[in-house]
Chains A and B, each alone.
Chain A
Amino acid sequence: MLELRQVGAAYGSSRVLFGVDLAIAEGEVVTLLGRNGMGKTTTVNAIMGLVSLTQGDISFRGTRISGLPAYKVARNGLALVPEGRQVFPNLTVEENLVATAANRGRAPSPWTLEAVYGLFPALATLARRSAGLLSGGEQQMLSIGRALMTNPRLLILDEATEGLAPRIRREIWDALVRIRERGQSVLVIDKNIDMLCRFADRHHILEKGRIVWSGSSQELMADEALRMRFLSA
């Protein structure tokens, strides 16, 4: 479904990605792992059209999306839950959800306001509250809900559980599992390897702007040396 071929990217003159190859199949749940500053967020930004490529190309369901402006990338069916949540603080919770919701007339859209509230009951009670006043965990749920409301074919989560209390974290993982059960394709970035191994089908490790390892959960769990080498802080 999504395919990155030899993707390179840079901020000004400092190069960050040096030829990333990555493929995600329909219905798959895939992770992107790596230590801080290895280029995970940059990869995601490159996919979303927020960072322009210095080499390579990206295609989604057969159409080339590299070089398109962000909004056109999104309209192809990609949605991002960005690092740092980035909800619209001056809109209410409900407005955050409906403002950018998809009504592209695709077959009965699975993610409606009710469905999102069902996933995160906390949001339902806060519907009329300004998003800027929510707690970090609530903002994170909102950010996920907002992305789902665009009815994406591929949901991309960048550090969706970072900096949250364990209880909230569990709540969000539970929600992600339920999202997955509905057949949603997901690309997820996170630091919690144990959780990811239960959640995802395949894993990719990014090191200094290149994919250095790809494999299944079993392989990742089995290879202690690999985890020590690329993933321990």
Chain B
Amino acid sequence: MQLLFVEQLLNGVQLGVILFLMAAGLTLTFGIMNLVNLAHGSLFMLGAYLGVTFALVTGSFVAGFVAAGLATFVIGLVLERLVIRHLYARSHLDQVMCTVGLVYVLNEATRMVFGPEPLHAPIPAFLAGSVELIPGAPYPAYRLAMIGAGLAIAGLLYVLIGRTRMGMLIRAGASNRVMTSVLGVNIGAIYAVVFGIGAALAGFAGYIAAPILTVYPGMGDNVLILALVVLVVGGMGSVKGAFVAALLVGVIDTIGRAYLKDLMALVLSPVAANTVAPALASMLIYILMAVILFFRPQGLIPAAGLRRPEAPPEASDHGPSGPGVLARWRVPAIGLLCGAFLLLPLVAGFADQPFWVDMGLRVIIFAIAALSLDLILGQTGLVSFGHALYLGIGAYVVGILADAGVESGFVQWPLAMGLSALLAAALSVVALRTSGTFFIMITLAFAQMMFYGASSLYDYGGDDGMHLAVRSTFGGLVDLYDSRQFYYLALALLVVLAGLNMRLARARFGTVLKGIRINERRMEAAGFPTFRYKLAACVLSAAVCGLAGAMLANAAEFVGPQYMDWTRSAELMIMVVAGGLATPFGAIIGALAYLGIEKYLSDLTIHWRLGFGALLILLVFLGRGGLSALFAPGPAGQPAPVLKGSFRWARPFFRPRA
């Protein structure tokens, strides 16, 4: 038992070392350039692919190691030059969107070059055996070497940053960029080198982890999310914090998975422990993160002397102010959109293309989800990167109830909304204690937590998800097995929700949310309880997204953790941004455009994600204001007056502070 514990502890340290190498690059780029780089996981992957390939060709493990670092360093420099450099001054939302675009491009390019099959990375012969650290407890030599290599790199990094002139300049640049350049330092070059170093660290991590992980396109994304947790726990911008947090997260995660079941069996029945423990174990570090954040919103060891990660003007002014190039077609376009949605089932009937209705239904469901996200992302300016979580909650409520024999939609759907709202209330109380980048990462981590939680629901299909037993019934009023009826029900809901959304945007609630987006401090100074407004927006938005999830489960007749995957959250975000943030029709146009392009590109080529990622990057740089901006009426008219006296019943909650 004790020997095993030592072994598990070492495994935890070994995971921690990998996480540190990842988190170090992230924390440097964040602390110095104030950049959120979600493509960091792709560099991990590239390090593994390129290093392993080089090692296989040369037959030398060490050569592979050097190649992994060098190659990712160079790739990092190139990426910085071509894309990243143009993001420093942009909002965090733009940074997220653009680097997600990079993830699509890099992962897909890797799939094209190396094929979809996992690459096998052999353990080098000289590290193949095991070492008896303690008599009777052999430990794989390779894992020990990993720990050693990781610690050595960490030590080098420590010397580089703490002891060298370059390190001084890096730290100086982090605390005062302008002053550093006034003293004759080309800060742009420093940024590039820092990004390159971060990339190389990720590359090293990918390479040394390759023999114990599966090397496949996208392998870095999960590691990235763990590294983000490390970043948040350790305190963003602090290398020391990243080191401590990485070991903490690595050890807690490993030990939790190994021993939680035994521990829980002490207090629970073995059966209960067997079902709960795996789910809880995989959620453990996220819970740890939430707890730490609740008490220390800046993380364990916040970086000294850095400007606080203040909330930047988070896409405060979304759209262009001038009229769009197609402004005069605004009314006809809206008419066309409405007409198309209304008549689609009829047209599909005439054309004998019944699957058009299913496509349309999907668009409507995602439009509802995107609409709900727009309330917080577009209107309030809260960059939530975990919204698909509620899509999943809604879907699981329907799936689990149907499985238990509760088939009525009148029970399922409201419950889906209610549970989403409740969960959102609980999570947002923690998440809203932070702002800016922290908020992005926390929402992402929470969604990931529930994703892993759902993946461990072995009674409900685990990773694979499950087939929906039966579609929701509505007492004979609507039959969801009739695709037209389902379609029109969804359309009616979309119309109601979109209408409600417009109304809300013009009510006092909406104007306060907008005020928060533009300048939260001012709203706070004016006496508005901004926290409550934000909380209400999050809860409302989650409820609506839960409804979309309930519909999605019915439409796909499938429920699975995939619905909560972070790429799903990114998709929703892309829809809202592509359509136009905080615009009446943005979410709908965005969902239509996204799913349309996805369908079109995926029919064209299996590597559609490559083109898609490129489109996304272009969208960030060229598409200010999204598609809606094309039709923007311009500032000609007076802003619509605030609707007074609506939603009177909600007043007490938002009473201004004295």
Contact = CB atoms under 8 A, between A and B. Distances in A.
Interface of A: 48, 50, 69-71, 74-75, 79-80, 82, 86, 88-91, 95-96, 98-100, 102, 130, 132, 146-147, 150
Contacts of B180: 88, 100
Nearest to A48: B182
B175 interface: yes
Contacts of A80: 182
Contacts of A86: 176, 179
B184 A102 contact: yes
B171 interface: yes
B185 A100 contact: yes
B183 A79 contact: yes
12 contacts: A48-B182, A70-B178, A74-B183, A86-B179, A90-B305, A96-B172, A99-B165, A100-B180, A100-B185, A132-B304, A146-B183, A147-B183
Interface of B: 165, 168-169, 171-172, 174-176, 178-187, 303-306
Between B172, B176, B184, B304, the greatest number of chain A beta carbons within 10 A of the residue's beta carbon is seen for B184
Nearest to B306: A90
Given A71-B186, A74-B184, A99-B169, A130 B179 contact: no
A31 B277 CA distance: 74
Contacts of B178: 50, 70
B355 to A, nearest CB: 54
Contacts of A71: 181-187
A90 B175 CA distance: 7
Contacts of B187: 71
Given A71-B185, A79-B184, A90-B175, 17 more contacts: A71-B182, A79-B183, A82-B182, A86-B176, A88-B171, A88-B175, A90-B174, A91-B168, A91-B171, A91-B305, A100-B180, A100-B184, A132-B305, A146-B183, A147-B183, A150-B183, A150-B184
Nearest to A103: B165
A197 B180 CA distance: 32
Given A71-B184, A150-B183, A100 B172 contact: yes
Contacts of B304: 90, 130, 132
Contacts of A79: 183-184
A132 B176 CA distance: 12
A100 B171 contact: no
B586 to A, nearest CB: 29
Contacts of A130: 304-305
A18 B182 CA distance: 24
A215 B174 CA distance: 42
Nearest to B186: A71
B183 A91 contact: no
Contact of B172 (A48, A70, A88): A88
Contacts of B186: 69, 71
A102 B183 CA distance: 9
Nearest to B187: A71
Contacts of A100: 169, 172, 180, 183-185
Contacts of B176: 86, 88
B172 A99 contact: yes
The 10 A-B residue pairs with the shortest CB-CB distance in the complex, in nearest-first order: A90-B305, A74-B184, A100-B183, A99-B168, A70-B181, A71-B181, A89-B305, A88-B172, A86-B179, A95-B168
Contacts of A95: 168, 171
A100 B176 CA distance: 13
A91 B174 CA distance: 11
Instruction: Tell me which of B180, B182, B187 has the highest count of chain A C-beta atoms within 10 A of its own C-beta.
Output: B182
The winner among A99, A102, A150 for most chain B CB atoms within 10 A is A99
Contact of B168 (A50, A98, A147): A98
Contacts of B306: 90
B168 to A, nearest CB: 4
A89 B175 contact: yes
Nearest to B174: A90
Contacts of B183: 71, 74, 79, 99-100, 146-147, 150
A48 B179 CA distance: 11
A155 to B, nearest CB: 12
Contact of B182 (A74, A98, A102, A132): A74
B361 to A, nearest CB: 49
Contact of B181 (A69, A88, A96): A69
Nearest to A88: B172
Contacts of B182: 48, 50, 70-71, 74, 80, 82
A150 B304 CA distance: 26
Nearest to B169: A99
A78 to B, nearest CB: 9
A95 B174 CA distance: 14
Contacts of B172: 88, 91, 96, 99-100
Nearest to A94: B168
A48 B303 CA distance: 30
B184 A88 contact: no
Contacts of B185: 71, 100
Contacts of A69: 181, 186
Nearest to B170: A99
A106 to B, nearest CB: 13
A50 B179 CA distance: 10
B179 A90 contact: no
A106 B169 CA distance: 21
A147 B184 CA distance: 10
A33 B162 CA distance: 41
B165 A98 contact: yes
A99 B175 CA distance: 13
B184 A82 contact: no
A102 B168 CA distance: 14
A151 to B, nearest CB: 10
A55 to B, nearest CB: 23
A143 to B, nearest CB: 9
Contacts of A102: 184
Nearest to B304: A90
A105 to B, nearest CB: 14
A74 B183 CA distance: 6
A71 B190 CA distance: 12
B165 A88 contact: no
Contacts of A75: 184
